[in-house]
Structure 1
Amino acid sequence: MVFENIYHQLLKQYGDYLLDSPIKDVIKKQVKIFDSSTISLFKNIMECVGRNPKNGKNKGGIKVHTVVNANEIVPSLVWFSEAKTHDHKFLEKLECDENTIYVFDKGYNDYKAFEYFTTEKTGFVTRIKNNTSYRKIENLNIEESIHNGVLKDEIIEIDVKKAKETAPLKLRKVTFYDRLNKREFAILS
């Protein structure tokens, strides 16, 4: 706790010297990128926190979740969990505000969290899971001046389970073609 406080005080004081690019100046919001890495350890050391893969060879390990401000080169948050903990549990640790946009991979998809982000006016960008069930509500116009591979821009609705009922959540789904990898991607926001 002491070192955490010292780290955050130093980051607050000297963070402006660590800027890599002025993203916040361009979009007027702080972009925070996060992901996790699993550190495998020997079964007999940390068996209680390991994964249980289908092949039966469970290994002990921990998962490190790291949040980095896009403007900086050092993390603003590092959180450790058991390796078997699902990534979306980390979303509870994030601070939500209208001046932040979080960017993360589809392993973090949690529609209840997306609903909370929306309520708190916190932006997010992630890829949609292949098996996501949704309804298309509206097609948005793609301007002719956009030449970056955008194929579709839609408003969709996903049912979010709450206790004994479901409630619809409106999200934006943008599909684009990546010319370099010759693939289509769909992004949720």
Structure 2
Amino acid sequence: MANYSTVFNQLLALIPRYHFERFVNSFNGDRYVKTLKCWNQLGSLLYAQASGKKSLREIVNGLEINNSKLYHLGLSPVKRSTLADANKIRSYQIYESLFYKILSQCKDLTPKHKFRFKNPLYTIDASTIDVCLATFSWAKFRTKKGAVKIHCLFDHSGDIPDFAVITEGNISDIRIAKDKLNIKPDSIYCFDRAYTDLELWSNIDFSKSYFVTKLKNNLKYTVLGQHLEAMKDGILSDEKIKLENKKYEKNLRMIRFLDEKSDEVVSIVTNNFKLSAKTIVQIYKTRWQIEIFFRWIKQNLQIKTFLGTSKNAVMSQVWIAMIFTKKLVEIPSF
């Protein structure tokens, strides 16, 4: 990152210090601490993100070299063992809370994108970060694989997360969606086949909201008739269907279209009978914005290698990395 020192200085200056100290107190972050306070821990890990440092040694050496530049921000050189202990012990919930506080500020700053419809549009998805199961024994994913998973509800109005949840890799995407999704009336929720759960679909419909998703191959249905005649723009059919599974009893709309990129016929279902088939297809394709967001995180943040192996150390690093992405929107020069 070019001119990382300037970016880092601006970044840390924008952290809401008052609220941060409240979170520290709530989770006893600085209780019995004499040397490395949570503010210094936060600054050290943000410095690692801004400068691309990948190890505790690199962070400690970098802070030592830049001590004169960082002193006015309340930061000071740290010992590697002290920083390692802080990452292991200080509750990651301090930084999770700070992320959500900053996220609420960002929503007022990001430009709003206008769609051809008035409904708020969201996509929910998850992405995994692979880790060695032998080293990170708590991060269970598959029998011989470990992973950390980032679950995210993406707000397409400002192209920012509405919420993020970080879990072990084996935590179900559907479980997080059902537990954490605060369904907002008249909104549209887009997701892939991993979220095929009829209870979730019913909850969205009951809340007077809409969903758009790809139809799972093993989901049986009966065609009730045409919703509208097949149109141009690659739309092959627009039908009214009813699922054979009684867990979702209302009628649905199934739209089949030709995906020009993959040259495949895609079937999507929705409970929205108002918008045009073309608009529904565009909504489904907009889902890829969250994939771009996840790709950017993995390519630009220091989360491929971790500074500690404990769950708390990993969670702290990922939450601070997420804070780093959000505060960048307030730095005009970035």
Q: TM-score normalised by the shorter chain: which range applies?
A: 0.7 to 0.9
User: TM-score, with normalisation over the residues of structure 1?
Assistant: 0.81
Query: Rg larger in 1 or in 2?
Result: 2
Q: Deviations over 1:90-129 (max 9, x none)?
A: 2211111223111111111111111111111121111011
Please say if residues 222 and 244 of structure 2, whose CA atoms lie closer than 8 Å, have aligned partners that are also in contact: no
Q: Pick from 14, 38, 45: which aligns with 2:128?
A: 38
**Structure 2 residue corresponding to 1:104, chosen from 183, 191, 195:** 191
Q: Which has the higher contact order (CA 8 A, sep 6+)?
A: 2
What is residue 184 of structure 1 aligned with on the other side? Answer: 265
Which piece of structure 1 moves more, 9-18 or 173-182? 9-18
The equivalent residue for 1:157 is 242
Report the equivalent of 1:15. Answer: 107
Q: Higher strand share goes to which structure?
A: 1
Please show how residues 71-90 of structure 1 align to structure 2 within 5 Å.
71-90=157-176
1:111-150 deviation per Cα after TM superposition (whole angstroms, max 9, x unaligned): 111111111112111101122111112211137xx43211
> What CA distance in whole angstroms lies between the structure 2 residues aligned with 1:173 and 1:138?
10
Preserved CA contact (<8 Å) 2:199 2:248:
no
Q: Point out where structure 2 has 5 or more consecutive residues left out of the alignment.
A: 1-92, 271-334
1:13 and 1:172, CA in 2 relative to 1: closer, same or farther beyond 3 A?
A: same
| Identity score, percent | 24
| SS of equivalent to 1:51 | strand
Contact map agreement 2:188 2:210 (CA 8 A) in 1: yes
* Cα deviations by residue, 1:48-101 (Å, 9 ceiling, x for unpaired): 44233xxxx611222111111112233121112221223221221111122311
Rate the CA distance shift 1:159–1:97 in 2: closer, same or farther, 3 A.
Answer: farther
Q: Whole-Å Cα distance in 2 between the matches of residues 160 and 51 of structure 1?
A: 30
CA distance in 1, matches of 2:94, 2:252: 40
Tell me the TM-score normalised to structure 2 length.
0.48
Contact 2:227 2:253 in 1 (8 A): no
> 2:254 touches 2:269 (CA, 8 Å); kept in 1?
yes
Which amino acid is the alignment partner of residue 154 of structure 1? E
Distance 1:50 1:160 in 2: 32
Aligned positions, number: 177
The answer to which of 177-186 and 7-16 deviates more is 7-16
Q: What is the one-letter code of the residue matched to 1:148?
A: D
In structure 2, relative to structure 1, the CA distance for the partners of 1:173 and 1:13 (3 Å cut) is: same
Q: Could you tell me whether the CA contact under 8 Å between 2:133 and 2:144 is conserved in 1?
A: yes
What is the Cα deviation at residue 167 of structure 1?
A: 5.8
Cα contact 1:8–1:76 (8 A) shared by 2: no
Q: Give structure 1 stretches of 5+ with no counterpart.
A: none
- Checking the alignment, whether the CA contact within 8 Å between 1:159 and 1:169 is kept in structure 2 is no
* Partners of 1:137 and 1:154 within 8 A in 2: yes
- Please name the residue that 2:232 is paired with: 147
Equivalents in 1 of 2:244, 2:148: separation in Å? 32
